[in-house]
Amino acid sequence: MTIESAFMTLCGFLAIYIGCRFIAARKIPIVSEDDRETYGWLRGKEAVIAGIAVVALGLTLVAAAIGLIKLHA
């Protein structure tokens, strides 16, 4: 296992975890860059769609780490 595949695996599992938390909570805060101010919230269906997108990214990273797909040419 190379450093790159280990890093992609770690990031993939972290993304899957974060996406599942988004789906379970059904709300995502929209904050400023320095995290001092909350501008609003994504709630309901929009939060679930964002969570599914994050889980899909995590699954893609894990699949690339184990060699099922190639992310670069």
Residue extents of the structural domains in the chain: 3-66
Q: Considering only CA atoms, which of 25, 17, 29, 7 is closest in space to residue 55? A: 17
pLDDT reported for residue 25: 95
Instruction: Determine the Cα–Cα distance for residues 20 and 24; give it in Å rounded to an integer.
Output: 6
pLDDT reported for residue 37: 86
- pLDDT digit string (tens) for 19-66? 999 999 999 989 988 878 889 999 999 999 999 999 999 999 999 999
